Amino acid sequence: MSDRLEILTRSTAQLGLALSDAQHDTLLRYLDMILKWNKVYNLTSLRDPAEALTHHLIDSLAAVPPLLRHLDGRQDAKLLDVGSGAGLPGVVFAICCPQLQVRCVDTVGKKAAFVQQAALELKLPNLRGVHARVESLTEKFDVVSARAFASLVDFTTWSVGALAGQGVWLAMKAKHPDAEIAALPASVEVFHVEQLSVPGLDAERCIIWMRTKNTVA
């Protein structure tokens, strides 16, 4: 077993994720794609493979168990990852949750094209890259996610039109964003702040779960 695969499998086990050998392999192939494309398209600022494994792949994987708990076995759910960049965490969600339809939207064409290429090369029929502004989308999604994308106010304001009636926002953040939460409008409710522990990463991480006010859980 390669060092990378050993670190990845140990990390997914620590996170309580029961992934197949094929899924682990697909995750590493995806990481290789990011590093390869990065040389030309500047998808991410991280260039070191070991750092990218921890700070990108495993960091994104930490959000998968909370997402699965929220989905609670649903087989028809749709997720929109906003400002997805290289597809983090959207592509990771698509690999780990084949039952989930994932769309990764980005205003930068080369980043949306990369996600499309990843869907093709990694054989992920549940994944699609979308080159657009999130405000222009008319499709509705059960979960709208973002990782290090924008302030909570901007994220929810720009993407509220894409949120289904009973949908939720999943915002991955570093430290608990007290000021951002305080700035949210009355129409947005934070119903859970979930602390994440990322294997191999000594840093604070959390998910801010939100929904529009008066939505029944």
pLDDT 10s digit of each residue in the chain, 217 long? 689 999 999 999 999 999 999 999 999 999 999 999 888 877 777 678 888 899 999 999 999 999 999 999 999 999 999 998 899 999 999 999 999 999 999 999 999 999 999 999 999 999 999 999 999 999 999 999 999 889 999 999 999 999 999 999 999 999 899 999 999 999 999 999 999 999 999 989 999 999 999 754 4
Closest CA to 156 of 129, 131, 138, 181: 181
Q: How far apart are CA 48 and CA 181, in angstroms?
A: 33
The answer to whether residue 55 is domain-embedded is no
* DSSP alpha helix (H) spans, 42-190: 49-52, 59-61, 64-71, 90-96, 109-121, 152-159, 178-182
Judge contact between 90 and 116, C-beta under 8 A.
no
The answer to whether residue 90 is domain-embedded is yes
The answer to whether residue 183 is domain-embedded is yes
The answer to whether residue 26 is domain-embedded is no
Domain coverage including residue 200: 63-212
**Whose structure tokens read 């087989």?**
75
The answer to whether residue 100 is domain-embedded is yes
The answer to whether residue 48 is domain-embedded is no
What's the helix, strand, coil split of the chain in %, to 5? 45, 25, 35
The answer to whether residue 72 is domain-embedded is yes
Q: What is the pLDDT of residues 9-49, one digit of tens each?
A: 999 999 999 999 999 999 999 999 999 988 887 777 767 88
Judge contact between 183 and 157, C-beta under 8 A.
no
Rounded to two decimals, the pTM is 0.95
The answer to whether residue 57 is domain-embedded is no
Question: Beta-carbon neighbour count of residue 165 at 10 Å?
Answer: 10
Q: Backbone phi, then psi, for 213, in 5-degree steps?
A: -60, 145
CATH code where residue 207 lies: 3.40.50.150
Number of domains in the chain: 1
Q: Which residues of 95-127 are buried (b: 16+ CB within 10 A; e: fewer)?
A: bbbeebbbbbbbeeeebbebbbebbeebebebb
Which strands sit side by side in the sheet containing 101-106, from one edge to the other? 127-131, 101-106, 78-82, 141-147, 163-173, 205-212, 188-196
